[in-house]
Amino acid sequence: MTATPGTEPLLRIQDLTVSFPTEDGLVQAVREVSFDVYPGEVVAIVGESGSGKSVTAMSIMRLHPKGAQMEGQILFDGTDILSLSEKEMRALRGDDIAMIFQDPMTALNPVFTVGDQIAEMIVTHRSIKRGEAMSMAEDLLGKVGVPEASTRINQYPHEFSGGMRQRAMIAMAIANEPKLLIADEPTTALDVTIQAQVMEVVRDVRELTGAAMLLITHDLGLVAGAADRIQVMYAGQIFERGTTNEIFYESQNPYTRGLMHSIPRVDYVGTRLTPIPGAPPSVLALPAGCAFRPRCTHAAEICREQPATLEHFGPTPTHMTRCHFAAELPPLEGARA
Amino acid sequence: MTDVREQAATTAPGDVGSVQFDLEAEGLSIEAKSFGRQTWDRFRRHKLALVAGFLLVTIIVMFWVGPSFSSYAYDQPNIPDRSKGPSLDHPFGTDPLGRDMFVRVLRGGRISIRIAVVVAIVSTTLGTLLGAIAGFFGKWVDLLISQLINLFLIMPALIILFVFAIRYGNEINSVSILLGFLLWVNIARIVRGQMLQLKEQEFVQAARAAGAGSFRIITRHLLPNVVGPIVVQATLIVGTAIILESTLAFLGLGVTPPDTSLGVLINDGKGFLRDRPSAALIPGGFIVLIVLCINFLGDGLRDAFDPTSRRVRE
């Protein structure tokens, strides 16, 4: 389900720059990010903490703290989200665009039953009686694999385990059959044993509703099985993008490669993990030239002098990378023949 | 036990490789209860609150229907019978004008309860509203309301009450509403503090992402989380109001003779505390009883409204 030329993108982000005023000056958390999400596809944004991936996602919902300045365009279904009134925006949130939050422990209201909260999501956007919404909630809970849904809807979040709560969150998100699901680190707060189950649920409901999904994560392993296309973000910029195969097997970016070398792999017996040295730069003091230069193994003089641009690489239109030496990097270890 | 339940709960039917439990067979299935039923169940576990609630209802019913069973009226003097101790005919004795103390205590209790309820409603509404707005919106709104709270804290309440009573009349209803306007600050401070903490929780962001506006978030998502502290504070205010009213009555504000309140009765009785202590102790005992009952009731209600308290007292 890759980008098919000809179809209109569901979401088109163009030159999005998000900056926050702080005591130390204006901080650009996202810098000129552009990408498209087509109907029904899964696009992942991958990056370390502070790379701007969550800020990008929140921009689509327009849920930034007050004072955030957004430039550029976010076109959803043809309308520019940044020009909508607050009221029009509220009608969109939870209806056409829904979000799955990271921490199901705190994202559910402790004093309402789970069924109440799912029903609330429905009645906010549709003129439906509460009782009817409750039976829809029961239905939804069943769909996301919560056993005994009819009793579970009358229970409170603290009576649910972490995985069950995340399922309830997913049920809430799909309650109004959104066109776009934003999942912000949906499995980060869960036990590893539950992560796979929850991802399976996410995949199932996505197939069920046909929604497109924007998956925000730092977990490359999660992305491999779930995403159609990947955007790798670093220091507020997209460093590389491509289909999942292109990123995993033909990456032509030192940062993406660094990320991949930091994941343990079962088929690399006896080799040590190579972490990326150093820490991501502070967005307040970005290095001159390429933002990744101080940590890059391939850095040269030009990287200091001039920032790299996001350029097409290889034969496909989907693969783009931001590196002065993209063409000179050796082929990826373990790449397909 | 809990572990098994957890494990069973996180296991979706049809999951490959995960252990399946027959919930019914294990006796672990969870029964569904409505919100009202669960709240009642939690309240019922609080035995003291249950007794307090029952006692309070009894006292209130007695205050309202009691006088009609007596052959005396609260404002009917009977000089030959004056200043008597408790007897069969006058179970609480008589006052210096020969009025039956039993009927007067019931009458006074009725007025005191009425004042307490009005004060509690006015101050709780006002305090919750202002506290919620201050805590949720922050910035200059918070600054304004917080300063208003500080202003009310430093204002000498008695003097305000005096000035207003002189200007706007000395009627019970207006005095109780005024008391309500003076007692809202504690609730406002508590609600504000809770709001400051709650609004940072992710479920608020989730509610926004679900398309809820500020008003809906405050009323539907945040305030239900503060019901516990509000209920407790409201019960405390009932006690404060009854006691403050007696102070006011002492100063000649509020209730005017021949009408009476529990506070007025204590005040009347304090003159002959040595000869007939019952004249002050009986109305005083009723105040203590009412305030205690309401506090225990508040305790029970707080636990009842908190869904997470389910396992605490089992």
What are the tens digits of pLDDT across the range B103-158?
Answer: 888 888 888 888 888 998 999 999 999 999 998 888 898 899 999 998 888 888 77
Q: Which residues numbered 83-102 in A keep a CB inside 8 Å of some CB on B?
A: 86, 90-95, 98-99, 101-102
Contact between A206 and A238 (Cβ < 8 Å): no
Predicted pLDDT at B1: 41
Of B180, B105, B192, B96, nearest to B146 (Cα)?
A: B192
Q: Are A295 and A277 in contact (CB under 8 A)?
A: yes
pLDDT of residue B69 exceeding 80: no
Structure tokens at B226: 């503060």
Task: Report pLDDT digits (tens) over B222-254.
Answer: 888 888 888 888 888 887 888 788 777 767 777
The nearest alpha carbon in chain B to A88 belongs to B211
What was the ipTM of the complex prediction?
0.71
Residue B118 φ then ψ, to 5°: -60, -45
Whether B209 and A63 lie within 8 Å, measured CB to CB: yes
- Do A19 and A2 touch, CB atoms closer than 8 A? no
The answer to whether A160 contacts B9, with C-beta atoms less than 8 Å apart, is: yes
Answer whether A112 touches B (CB < 8 Å): yes
What tokens appear for A285 in the block? 């003091």
pLDDT band at A333 (very low <50, low <70, confident <90, very high): low
What one-letter code names the amino acid at B40?
W
Instruction: Tell me the average pLDDT of chain A.
Output: 84
Task: Quote the pTM value.
Answer: 0.72
Q: How far apart are CA B192 and CA B131, in angstroms?
A: 4
- Residue A270's pLDDT is 67
- A94: which chain B residues are within 8 Å (Cβ-Cβ)? 209-212
Confidence of residue A28 (pLDDT cuts 50, 70, 90): confident
- The tokens 């001159």 sit on which residue? A288
Q: How far does the CA of residue A161 sit from the closest CA of chain B (Å)?
A: 7
pLDDT of residue B310: 52
How far apart CA A280 and CA A258 sit, in angstroms, is: 13
Q: Which pLDDT score, from 0 to 100, does residue B250 have?
A: 67
| pLDDT tens-place string over residues A185-201 | 888 878 888 888 888 88
Q: Residue B43 pLDDT > 70, yes or no?
A: yes
* pLDDT reported for residue A148: 86
Q: How many CB atoms lie within 10 A of CB B24?
A: 9
Q: Which residues does residue A43 pair with via DSSP β-bridges, in sequence order? A: A214, A229
Number of A–B residue contacts, CB under 8 Å: 115
Distance from CA of A112 to the nearest CA of B (A): 8
> For residue B19, is pLDDT > 60?
no
Q: What pLDDT, on a 0 to 100 scale, did the predictor assign at position B188?
A: 92
Residue B31 confidence (pLDDT) = 53
pLDDT reading at A222 higher than 60: yes
pLDDT above 70 coverage of chain B, percent: 85
CA dist., res. A52 & res. B24, Å (int): 48
Q: Which residue has the higher pLDDT, B19 or A111?
A: A111
Give residue A289's pLDDT: 84
Amino acid symbol at A319: H
Residues of chain A found within 8 Å of residue B30, distances taken between Cβ atoms? 148, 151-152, 155, 159
Chain A residue numbers touching B35 (CB-CB < 8 A): 113, 116, 154
**Do residues A137 and A175 make contact, with C-beta atoms less than 8 angstroms apart?**
yes
